[in-house]
Chain A
Amino acid sequence: MQNSLPELVKCDVFSLFNQMRSVSVDLNNDSSLLIDIPDALCERDKVKFTVHTKTTLNSFQKPEFSVPRQHEDFIWLHDTLVETEEYAGLIIPPAPPKPDFEGPREKMHKLGEGESTMTKEEYAKMKQELEAEYLAVFKKTVQVHEIFLQRLSSHPVFSKDRNFQIFLEYDQDLSVRRKNAKEFFGGFFKNMVKSADEVLISGIKDVDEFFEQEKTFLLDYFSKIKDATAKAEKMTRSHKNVADDYIHISATYSYLLICLHSLCVINAYRHLEKFSELLEKLRKVEGRVASDQELKLTELLRYYMRDIQAAKDLLYRRARALADYENSNKALDKARLKSKDIPQAEENQRQCLQKFDKLSESGKQELTSFKGRRVVAFRKNLIEMAELEIKHAKVRIKSAVCSEHNLFTHN
Chain B
Amino acid sequence: DILKKRDSSYCSLDVDTLNSQTVEVIAIAKSVKCRGSILVTHLAHISTVELTLTTPNSRGRKEIIGPTGPLSTTMSTQNSLHMHNSLNKPLEELEEEESGDTFELNIAVTNPEKMGDGMNAYMTYKVSTQTTLPAFHIKTFSVRRRFSDFLGLYEKLSVKHHLMGCIIPPPPQKSVVGMTKVKVGKEDPSSAEFVEKRRAALERYLQRVVAHPALLQDSDVQEFLEREELPRAVNTQALSGSGFLKMINKASDAVNKMTIKMNESDNWFESKLQEVENEEQLLRRLHASVDSLVNHRKEMCINTAMFAKSVAMLGSSEENSALSRALSQLAEVEDKLEQLHQEQAFSDFFILTELLADYVRLLGAVRGCFEQRMKAWQRWQEAQATLQKKREAEAKLLWANKPDKLQQAKEDLTEWEAKVGQCERDFERISSTLRKEVHRFEKEKCRDFKHHIVKYLESLLRSQHRVVKCWEAFLPEAKAIV
Contact = CB atoms under 8 A, between A and B. Distances in A.
Partners in one complex: yes
Interface of A: 217, 220-221, 224-225, 227-228, 231-232, 234-235, 237-239, 241-242, 245-246, 248-249, 252-253, 255-256, 259-260, 262, 264-265, 268-269, 271-272, 275, 278, 371, 375, 378-379, 382-383, 386-387, 389-390, 393-394, 396-397, 400-401, 403-404, 407
A371 to B, nearest CB: 7
Contacts of B311: 228
23 contacts: A224-B313, A228-B310, A228-B311, A231-B307, A237-B303, A238-B303, A242-B297, A245-B293, A249-B290, A256-B282, A260-B279, A275-B453, A375-B323, A375-B482, A382-B330, A382-B481, A386-B478, A390-B468, A390-B475, A394-B464, A397-B461, A400-B457, A407-B457
A259 B453 contact: no
Contacts of B327: 378
Contacts of A382: 326, 330, 474, 478, 481
A235 B69 CA distance: 53
B319 interface: yes
Contacts of B282: 252, 255-256, 259
Contact of A404 (B278, B317, B446, B457): B457
A387 B475 CA distance: 7
A383 B322 CA distance: 14
A227 B313 contact: yes
B446 A268 contact: yes
Chain A: interface secondary structure?
helix
Given A242-B293, A271-B453, A386-B478, 19 more contacts: A221-B314, A227-B310, A241-B296, A242-B296, A246-B293, A249-B289, A249-B293, A252-B282, A264-B69, A265-B442, A271-B446, A375-B323, A379-B323, A389-B467, A390-B472, A394-B464, A397-B461, A403-B457, A404-B454
A217 B317 contact: yes
Interface string B436-448: 0001001100100
Contacts of B143: none
Interface in B287-306: 289-290, 292-293, 296-297, 299-300, 303-304, 306
B5 interface: no
Interface of B: 69, 272, 275, 278-279, 282-283, 285-286, 289-290, 292-293, 296-297, 299-300, 303-304, 306-307, 309-311, 313-314, 317-320, 322-323, 326-327, 330, 439, 442-443, 446, 449-450, 453-454, 457-458, 460-461, 464-465, 467-468, 471-472, 474-475, 478-479, 481-482
B468 A407 contact: no
B328 to A, nearest CB: 12
A386 B468 contact: no
B310 A375 contact: no
A27 B327 CA distance: 25
B290 A383 contact: no
Nearest to A246: B293
Contacts of B309: 231
Nearest to A227: B310
A381 to B, nearest CB: 9
Contacts of A403: 457
B285 A228 contact: no
Of A220, A221, A393, the most chain B CB neighbours within 10 A belong to A393
A26 to B, nearest CB: 16
Nearest to B451: A271
A296 to B, nearest CB: 11
Nearest to A259: B278
Contacts of A404: 454, 457-458, 461
A383 B309 CA distance: 20
A393 B468 contact: yes
B356 to A, nearest CB: 10
A378 B320 CA distance: 11
A269 B453 CA distance: 12
A158 to B, nearest CB: 26
Given A383-B479, A390-B475, A242 B300 contact: yes
A253 B286 contact: yes
A393 B340 CA distance: 13
A248 B300 CA distance: 18
Nearest to B344: A242
B66 to A, nearest CB: 10
A407 B450 contact: yes
Given A259-B282, A397-B461, A375 B442 contact: no
B167 to A, nearest CB: 16
